[in-house]
Amino acid sequence: MDLWTIIIISIIKILFVVTITLLTVSYLVYFERKISAWVQDRIGPNRVGWYGLLQPFADVFKLFLKEDIVPDASIKSIHTLAPIITLFVAFSTYAVLPWGPPVNIFGYEIPLVLADVNSGILIVLALTSLGVYGITFSGWASGSKYSLLGGVRSSAQMISYEISMGFSVAGVLLISESLRPAAIIESQSGWMWNAFIQPIGFITFLVSAFAETNRLPFDLPEAEPELVGGYHTEYSSMKFAAFFLAEYANMIISSGLIVTLYLGGWQVPYIETFGLSSGWVTMMQIGAFFFKVGAVLFFFIWVRWSIPRFKYNQLMNLGWKVMFPLALVNLVWVAILVMLLN
Amino acid sequence: MAKKKRLKDLNFLEKIYLPEISKGLVQTFKKMFQPRFTMEYPEVKFEPPDSYRGRPVLVQEENGEERCVACGLCSRVCPALAIEIQAGETEREKERYPERFEINMIRCIFCGLCEEVCPEEAIIMSKDYELVFSNREDALYGKDKLLVPINELQDRINFLRKHK
């Protein structure tokens, strides 16, 4: 492949990923509202378009038309920088997640991932840690005590749960012996999904993912009854939309990560025994990835509307006294497993 | 002293959260497939029961006359001072009738005292709850808006005779 082909293919892939992500984010908001309505015996948005399907666009349009207010007490540059960081972090992480097996088109072998880097998982962890800066900056620069408290809470929470998240991932890496997402997926062929091999690690990672994305039951940085809006209290218009978008984009990346690390990625168990042609197999595998991500996203929303918010001391107790030891136990368990079976 | 066992002490299964959380999740999942309570208002209209107190109206007999004899009791009892009556005389059997009968719907609090106090069963709380006006003059409901034929109000009249 010459350079130009690579560039063109990359651009097509980038456009595909960005479009899919933005569409998913907007419809995730729609489904968040729909599912919350269903859980609470309501109907949900159904006025804009067929079954309310144009509602996300109406929401975005409304946010566009709002006035952009910057408080006098704020530090203007950082106040503007914070949503940019948050959005950048949320969207750049998609680069390393593979959404299907390598495909052959016109004799070119194209991996269905933007950047097939050897340290993929490390990049994801590094970038999601950067996300703390966006939230902390927004809290610090807003010049409001509620924002500050939200920012401080969120940084403490994210740092605490990053540890158990990292240790859960270490269990996965012991089995795959590689940081490449593609290699991790290959190590889970058949029903050897990491969710079944290391259930404790799966649960700790899942809970940490909830805490990292600031979703209920761990959405303390934006706990409405205590902090008004949390770190984005002083944001309006498109800057607020950026935070909103980033939260949902983070949700998708977390789901993608959970699927890749624990649920076998794009693999359909024993698909090679079905006797399908290779084109169908590829299509089904890509479909399987999106189906799994969708299922995890549904789980995210479902949990949000079922479980009440934790108190801050409970959150910290859970993070340091329960999740961290459990992740260590999981690491030891996987090490024993690898030693015995390998 | 031995530690007393309290009701709120959790047992082991409750302490590890997950079984309880999954119970809650099952509960909400079941909820998703149950019928909705929402009524889609402009398309589907709420049909009030007979005990409902909508806007007060004046009963119009089948021959087109109003029942009201302009005694002024409703105006006197109205806690919000919403009713204004001016009495007039006629040659008919019932000598008095209201020349002007106005209810200020901005003031009305739908308490139903006028209906309760009326000796002639002439002012009745209807089932009409769609009251919209865009200025204060429109909110003054005169006789043209207040008079409602008796057959539309029969449900409420029966209800009053049974329970009042």
Closest-CA residue of chain A to B18 = A203
**Which residues in A lie closer than 8 A to residue B28 (C-beta atoms)?**
39, 302, 305-306
Q: Determine whether the interchain pair A306/B24 forms a contact, defined as Cβ–Cβ distance below 8 Å.
A: yes
Q: Determine whether the interchain pair B40/A38 forms a contact, defined as Cβ–Cβ distance below 8 Å.
A: no
Closest-CA residue of chain A to B30 = A39
Count of the separate structural domains present in chain B: 1
* pLDDT value of residue B150: 86
Judged against a pLDDT cut of 80, whether residue B4 lies above it is answered with no
Please report the residues numbered 183 through 222 in chain A whose beta carbons come closer than 8 angstroms to any beta carbon of chain B: 203
Express each pLDDT in B6-46 by its tens digit. Answer: 777 777 777 777 888 888 889 888 888 888 888 888 888 88
The whole domain housing B75 covers: 56-163
For residue B119, being part of any structural domain is answered with yes
d(CA A207, CA A151): 20
* pLDDT value of residue B77: 92
CB distance from A307 to chain B under 8 Å? Answer: yes
* CATH number of the domain within which B135 lies: 3.30.70.3270
Judged against a pLDDT cut of 70, whether residue A131 lies above it is answered with yes
* A176 within 8 A of A193, measured Cβ to Cβ: no
SS3 B80: coil
For residue B38, being part of any structural domain is answered with no
* A231 within 8 A of A151, measured Cβ to Cβ: yes
For residue B28, being part of any structural domain is answered with no
The label of the residue with tokens 């009854």 reads A225
* Number of Cα atoms under 13 Å in the Cβ half of residue A166: 12
* A260 within 8 A of A98, measured Cβ to Cβ: yes
Judged against a pLDDT cut of 70, whether residue A223 lies above it is answered with no
- Of A138-152, A223-237, B77-91, B136-150, the range with the lowest mean pLDDT is A223-237
H or E element in which residue A103 lies:
strand A103-105
For residue B129, being part of any structural domain is answered with yes
- Of A129-133, A224-228, A335-339, B56-60, the range with the lowest mean pLDDT is A224-228
d(CA A227, CA A230): 5
* pLDDT value of residue B1: 57
* pLDDT value of residue A119: 83
DSSP secondary structure string, A171-221? HHHHHH-SS-HHHHHHTT-TT--HHHH-HHHHHHHHHHHHHHTT-TTS-GG
Please report the residues numbered 59 through 88 in chain B whose beta carbons come closer than 8 angstroms to any beta carbon of chain A: none
Higher pLDDT, A62 or A276: A62
For residue B120, being part of any structural domain is answered with yes
**Which residues in A lie closer than 8 A to residue B31 (C-beta atoms)?**
38-41
Nearest Cβ partner for B32 among A38, A203, A307? A38
CB distance from B15 to chain A under 8 Å? Answer: no
Express each pLDDT in B83-127 by its tens digit. Answer: 999 988 888 887 888 888 999 999 999 998 998 898 888 898 988
d(CA B16, CA A319): 13
For residue B144, being part of any structural domain is answered with yes
Average the pLDDT over B137-160 and give the result. 87
CB distance from B32 to chain A under 8 Å? Answer: yes
**Which residues in A lie closer than 8 A to residue B29 (C-beta atoms)?**
302
Nearest Cβ partner for B38 among A43, A203, A306? A43
For residue B127, being part of any structural domain is answered with yes
Task: Give A128's contacts (C-beta < 8 A, 6+ positions apart).
Answer: A89, A93, A162, A212, A250, A253
Closest-CA residue of chain A to B25 = A306
Q: Determine whether the interchain pair B21/A41 forms a contact, defined as Cβ–Cβ distance below 8 Å.
A: no
Question: What does pLDDT average to over chain A?
Answer: 83
Q: What percent of chain B has pLDDT over 90?
A: 10
CB distance from A39 to chain B under 8 Å? Answer: yes
Express each pLDDT in A152-196 by its tens digit. Answer: 888 888 888 888 888 888 888 888 888 888 888 888 877 778 778
Express each pLDDT in A78-130 by its tens digit. Answer: 888 888 888 888 888 888 888 777 777 776 777 777 777 888 888 888 888 88
For residue B74, being part of any structural domain is answered with yes
Dihedrals φ, ψ of A118, to 5°?
Answer: -70, -25
**Which residues in A lie closer than 8 A to residue B36 (C-beta atoms)?**
41-43
Q: Determine whether the interchain pair B32/A39 forms a contact, defined as Cβ–Cβ distance below 8 Å.
A: yes
Chain B interface disruption, residue of A206, A306, A326, most B CBs within 10 A? A306
**Whole-number CA gyration radius for chain A:** 21
- Of A31-35, A256-260, B11-15, B100-104, the range with the lowest mean pLDDT is B11-15
- Kindly report the pTM of this predicted structure: 0.81
Judged against a pLDDT cut of 80, whether residue A228 lies above it is answered with no
Q: Determine whether the interchain pair A39/B21 forms a contact, defined as Cβ–Cβ distance below 8 Å.
A: no
Judged against a pLDDT cut of 80, whether residue A249 lies above it is answered with yes
Is residue B79 very low, low, confident or very high in pLDDT (cuts 50, 70, 90)? very high
ipTM score above 0.90: no
* A40 within 8 A of B29, measured Cβ to Cβ: no
